[in-house]
């Protein structure tokens, strides 16, 4: 069976072939890919009983790869020499971990990317020697090449007005997934028909029933919300990304008032997103709500303009946000639902055992996913320390932490090459929001596992998000929309 959502996507891709020029077709497919990364629908492209074939995002990413290759001849003479050189350095550094594995194989056991951390922490399974999944490596190679080509295209071909046009598509379409969360809440908690939501998601999005979290009541006696994903935590992460893209659109719109139409946003829309985050029942909701406040502060205070003498003001604002977050955590711990208190107790107990060097570190209360996440971060970071320069190898071992996973995949050398590559410019006068870069790539993903086709560092959605900052960091009117 082909889910309705898959039929819509395939129809759109076919329609796109016959409308507009190649440049416009790429823009449409690129915007669709960003939407799928942000919304994170976890259905199958084709459903066969309890099994699924590929995902909608994988199909769109492959089509995006084709468009990126077709557009390359149009910009090959526009790519600065330094940018071209850095692309080769980048891809070599990315794969140095795997190359070094052939020269000097890893001798310690790991949790390979295809394996699951839960059986390890429960003592059911054991760590294994490094196993390279060549099918997965081929997919990673396509993702990395697409990332490099799209970086060239965004920096050397697409003007600010094109970037804003793609952003409009992303922000407008993302509203559908926000309002689907509202509908899910109504059907589950007011009409009291959670199974109807699951049946609809299976039919429309191809989300197979056995992959979904059971209809448990998590907070305030409400059923958890998952959106078009399969877990509340994934839905919360999706809502956060939708919010950040929407914030950037609102900033650009205000700076160039009268020249951009479309999405209106407003406090009510963002307040609704916060309510959905909390209503999801996901433990990660508190983190992402806090990160949403930090994002709002970064944009409101225009940290990219920060001077040394202004750091005290920004530091004070940061302290206020952190203090507010701790207050919320404390109130929920004292007066919130039992499930939240339980997971906080486990997290605190684990940290106490870890820092005290207790022998109970690995298998303590291992039936809980919170401990599984902490153990993955702890173990993968220790493995990285044994190969800090090149890392263990891309696609080998990952943790429930994007930063630790980046270090494990590519090591310090790969990380530095990527930072240098993403900051290459076509024009020296271009500026970027460095505070957004640090925030999005090194802070937000601390409690998150690797999703989609790899890490944020090779995700075109995150690349697009950061590249948008070149529009609002210049003085008003200096760069035309």
User: Tens digits of per-residue pLDDT, 4-39?
Assistant: 999 999 999 999 999 989 999 999 999 999 999 999
Judge whether 46 and 126 are in contact, CB under 8 Å: no
The CA distance from 283 to 289, in Å, is: 11
Residue 471 inside a domain? The answer is yes
Neighbours of 373 (CB within 10 A): 23
**Of the candidates 384, 444, 436, the residue with the CA atom closest to the CA atom of residue 415:** 384
At residue 376, the pLDDT reads 84
Question: Are 180 and 39 contacting, i.e. CB atoms less than 8 angstroms apart?
Answer: no
User: What pLDDT shows up at residue 455?
Assistant: 72
Condensed to tens digits (0 to 9), the pLDDT of residues 319-362 reads 766 676 667 666 666 666 666 666 666 666 666 666 665 545 44
- Burial code (b: 16+ CB inside 10 Å, e: under 16) for 281-304 equals bbbbbbbbbbbbbbbebbbebebb
Q: Are 25 and 16 in contact (CB under 8 A)?
A: yes
pLDDT for 2 equals 87
> How many helices (H) does the chain have, and how many strands (E)?
19, 4
pLDDT of residue 363: 47
Specify if 435 maps to a domain. yes
- Which residue do the tokens 């990315």 mark? 94
Asked if residue 282 is part of any domain, the answer here is no
Pair of tokens at residue 50: 């309890």
pLDDT tops 50 at residue 366: no
What is the Cα–Cα distance from 467 to 300, expressed in whole angstroms?
Answer: 19
Q: Would 421 be classed as within a structural domain?
A: yes
Query: Which residue has better confidence, 453 or 33?
Result: 33
**Whole-number Å distance between alpha carbons of 39 and 23:** 24
pLDDT at residue 374 in the model: 79
Buried b (16+ CB within 10 A) or exposed e, 335-346: ebeeebeebbeb
Task: With respect to residue 233, please indicate whether it lies within any of the assigned structural domains.
Answer: no
How many residues belong to the chain? 481
- Lowest-confidence pick of 90-94, 421-425, 428-432: 428-432
433 occurs within a structural domain: yes
**Over residues 214-219, mean pLDDT:** 54
- Give the largest Cα separation in the chain, rounded: 64
Q: Report the DSSP beta bridge partners of residue 223.
A: 217
Percentage above 90 pLDDT, the chain: 39
Would 480 be classed as within a structural domain?
yes
Phi, psi of 162 (to 5 degrees): -70, -40
Domain count, the chain: 1
Tokens found for residue 97: 């971990």
Partnered with residue 51 across adjacent β-strands are 48
Does residue 162 fall inside a structural domain? no
Strand, coil or helix: 1: coil
Residues 6+ apart with CB under 8 A from 471: 160, 163, 164, 252, 479, 481
**pLDDT above 90: residue 377:** no
Range of the domain at 447: 84-152+357-481
């Amino acid at each position: 069976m082909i889910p309705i959502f898959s039929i819509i996507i395939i129809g759109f891709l076919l329609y796109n072939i016959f409308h507009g020029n190649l440049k416009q077709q790429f823009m449409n497919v690129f915007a669709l890919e960003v939407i799928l990364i942000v919304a994170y629908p976890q259905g199958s492209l084709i459903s066969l009983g309890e099994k699924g074939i590929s995902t909608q995002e994988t199909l769109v990413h492959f089509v995006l790869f084709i468009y990126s290759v077709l557009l390359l001849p149009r910009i090959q003479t526009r790519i600065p020499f330094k940018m071209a050189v850095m692309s080769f350095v980048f891809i070599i550094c990315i794969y140095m971990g795997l190359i070094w594995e052939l020269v000097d194989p890893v001798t310690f056991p790991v949790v390979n990317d295809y394996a699951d951390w839960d059986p390890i922490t429960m003592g059911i399974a054991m760590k294994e020697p490094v196993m390279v999944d060549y099918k997965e490596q081929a997919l990673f190679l396509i993702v990395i090449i697409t990332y490099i080509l799209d970086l060239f295209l965004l920096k050397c071909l697409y003007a600010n007005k094109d970037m804003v046009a793609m952003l409009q598509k992303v922000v407008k379409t993302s509203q559908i997934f926000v309002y689907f969360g509202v509908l899910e809440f109504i059907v589950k908690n007011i009409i009291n028909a959670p199974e109807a939501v699951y049946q609809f998601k299976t039919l429309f999005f191809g989300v197979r029933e056995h992959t979904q979290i059971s209809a448990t009541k998590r907070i305030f006696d409400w059923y958890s919300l998952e959106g078009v994903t399969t877990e509340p935590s994934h839905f919360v992460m999706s809502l956060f990304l939708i919010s950040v893209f929407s914030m950037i659109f609102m900033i650009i719109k205000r700076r160039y008032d009268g020249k951009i139409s479309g999405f209106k946003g407003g406090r009510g829309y963002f307040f609704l997103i916060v309510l959905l985050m909390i209503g999801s029942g996901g433990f990660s909701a508190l983190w992402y709500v806090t990160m949403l406040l930090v994002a709002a502060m970064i944009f409101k205070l225009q940290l990219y303009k920060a001077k040394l003498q202004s750091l005290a003001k920004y530091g004070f604002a940061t302290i206020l946000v952190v203090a507010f977050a701790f207050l919320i955590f404390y109130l929920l711990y004292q007066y919130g639902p039992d499930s939240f208190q339980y997971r906080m107790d486990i997290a605190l107990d684990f940290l106490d055992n870890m820092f005290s060097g207790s022998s109970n570190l690995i298998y303590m209360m291992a039936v809980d996913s919170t401990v599984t996440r902490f153990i993955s971060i702890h173990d993968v970071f220790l493995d990285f320390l044994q190969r800090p320069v090149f890392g263990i190898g891309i696609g080998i071992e990952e943790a429930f932490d994007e930063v630790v996973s980046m270090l494990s995949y590519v090591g310090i050398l790969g990380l530095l090459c990527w930072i240098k590559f993403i900051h290459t410019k076509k024009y020296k006068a271009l500026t970027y929001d460095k505070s957004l870069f640090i925030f999005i790539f090194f802070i937000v993903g601390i409690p998150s596992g690797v999703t989609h086709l790899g890490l944020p560092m090779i995700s075109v959605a995150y690349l697009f998000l950061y590249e948008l900052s070149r529009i609002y960091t210049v003085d008003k009117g200096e760069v035309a929309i």
